[in-house]
Amino acid sequence: MKTEIHQFENGIRLVHQRSDSLVAHFGFMVLTGSRDEEEDEHGMAHFIEHVIFKGTKKRKNFHIISRLEDVGGDINAYTTKEETCIHSSFLREDYERAIELTFDICFNSIFPEKELKKEKNVIIDEILSYQDSPSELIFDDFEEQVYHGLPIGRNILGTQEKLESFGRQDILQFIQKNYSTSEMVICSVGDISMNRLIKICGKYFAAIPRKERLKKRLIPNGYKPEFRTIDKNTFQNHCMLGNLAYPVNDERRIGLMLLSNILGGPGMNSRLNMSLRERNGYSYDVESHYAPYSDTGVFMVYFGCDKGKFDKSLKLVYKEFESLRKHALSDWQLRKAKKQILGQVAIMAENNEALMLSLGKSLLMFNRVDSLEETGKRIEAITSDQILEIANHILDPAAISVLKYN
């Protein structure tokens, strides 16, 4: 299906792909996340994502929740280190209902102090729940280790102490500093024409005054590899190891995505899963991740194992690193790896909600949206020599940081 893009005069961009499905998906993204916080604002972006639903100039929080749920739809939100998103799914005849509600939430929220107090307790419970899950917590602790002392290294949820200090004026000040129309994207997948969608979105979003970003992000530098152990009194060892990697606009990004997929992607036939789990039975869960940001990136490998098998497991991980650094992929191995990731991308594109979010993030980060065919060409263009060069850069043992939970 054709992807269409429109930009309003205030800088807000709109991306849409038409679908004949009965269900439509709509989202609003802004390029502001937890890395845009000052130290005394830690957790603010995520806090706003929660309390933005707690009342507008014309709706109580119950009316916000019920507006789409009464017609079988739903609305949700998420915060990352670099963006915040409000998104909804609904029957296609309810497009304007969803668009108007999204606009009202994003631009007319009043952040009542009574509701702020209640929601702080909810988020504190979320923080405590997260701390009870070492296999999730270690991702944040590792990025804090890699980006030590920098905003991008801090976790998204914040701390109880910081959270309790936030008031309505703090929220409004953060929004004023960090939310700009030139960094806002509306995304949609559903059975509506682009002209009709532009008309409805323009009715609500086009009148927002143009605003540019006032605050610049702090660019990470000064990385030093480190082996760190934290006592968590867990039943098994949890381990994360990795290195700084490429930002989203680096031409090596897709090559590293392919390398990560070969090493520890979702397939059971990934090299690390075959080595640690299938051949040796050391680990139930082993996986690799590559998180590209606007000006940096991080590559990570996670595994959990019995405490008596940690040294052997870590040795096997390094063995797979060394293999990829010493031996170029054969033509057959490269074709297989490309086919696997192409299939994963195509399957994900069949999920219209995931597609809608992907369209929005692509326009937000790259100011373009590649088709499946264009993405396929970029993947097919990767050579085994490029993979070898990337492996020697990213998987260099001298540059690897390790975080271990005991």
Give the DSSP H or E segment for 355: helix 352-366
CATH class of 227-405: alpha beta
Q: Domain ranges in the chain?
A: 3-205, 227-405
Region 190-214 average pLDDT = 96
Residues in a beta bridge with 229: 404
Tens of pLDDT, residue by residue over 83-138, are 999 999 999 999 999 999 999 999 999 999 999 999 999 999 999 998 899 999 99
What are the tokens at 255?
């090559």
Q: How confident is the model at residue 213 (pLDDT cuts 50, 70, 90)?
A: confident
Residue 215 is predicted with a pLDDT of 80
Q: How far is CA 16 from CA 29, 245, 332, 350, 358, in A?
A: 14, 31, 38, 15, 11
216 vs 266: CA distance, rounded Å: 36
394: number of Cβ within 10 Å: 26
Is a pLDDT exceeding 80 seen at residue 1?
A: no
Q: How far is CA 242 from CA 223, 254, 329, 398, 403, in A?
A: 12, 18, 21, 11, 9
What CATH code is assigned to 3-205? Answer: 3.30.830.10
What pTM value is reported for the model? 0.93
Tens of pLDDT, residue by residue over 66-85, are 999 999 999 999 999 999 99
349 vs 164: CA distance, rounded Å: 40
Residues near 238 by beta carbon (within 8 Å), at least 6 away in sequence: 134, 135, 138, 232, 302, 303, 304, 404, 405
77 vs 207: CA distance, rounded Å: 24
Tens of pLDDT, residue by residue over 235-285, are 999 999 999 999 999 999 999 999 999 999 998 999 999 999 999 999 999
Residues in a beta bridge with 171: none
